[in-house]
Amino acid sequence: MAATYSLVDLETWPRKEHWEHFSTAAKCFISTTKKMDVTALHAATHASGERFYVAVLYVVSSVINRHREFKLSWQTKERRLIVWDEVSPSHLVFHKDDETFTCVWSRWTADFAAFSRGCREDMAKGLRHRGYRVPGIPENVFSASCLPWLGYGAPHLTLNGDEPYLAPIVTWGKAERIGKRLQMPLSFEIRHGAADGFHIARFYEEVAQEMEALAAHLRA
């Protein structure tokens, strides 16, 4: 099924001048990292037999799909800005034998059980594939990756290119115990033309809420 979208009318868009400034004079990204308390979610996934990685991917996808600013895309050929009706995560599987990775994608659905099943299947296919990415990854995706080996401070990814890349880039690292709590670094990067600090702060707030909600769901 083809992804659906709507056009952004730049003349009536409240961010028109922000878009123009950050697409010409100041082509920049906002990159932030916040330590998230994942104590409840980690325990709930362990007890229920679910994968913590899949749970985090679900939570991040859920929040991103709520907000228009995280679903923008620039169509180079048509020279127009669009907003997808929904976006799915493009994420990575790691090949231990040759220390490379392959990009896969998992179709977004609000049904956690269905998302979890699909995600596991997608990852299994990715492990059987060699090369940068599996065939058929659609346009309406955002980027997600995990560094399970590193409890980092603040990574920074610099993107170059004349055409604006607008999809969010989400990264999380190794969860580490701080006292009685388990904390995990979660990074979020997006082009400034699409979003501001307010939108990113709301992202983190809602991720925290969704983690608690999913943990409660898995415990029920």
**What CA–CA distance (Å, rounded) separates 11 from 122?**
40
- Tell me the HSE value of 34 on the side-chain side, using a 13 A CA sphere: 16
* Per annotation, catalytic residue among 156, 192, 199, 217: 192
Specify whether 192 is catalytic.
Answer: yes
Nearest to 166 by CA among 22, 10, 17: 22
Helix (H) or strand (E) holding 200: helix 197-219
93/9 Cα distance (integer angstroms): 38
Pairing of strands 88-95, 141-147: parallel
Which residues face 189 on adjacent strands?
A: 31, 169
| Chain mean position to CA 194 | 15
Maximal C-alpha separation, the chain:
53
Distance of alpha carbon 153 from alpha carbon 156, whole angstroms: 10
- Residues noted as catalytic: 192
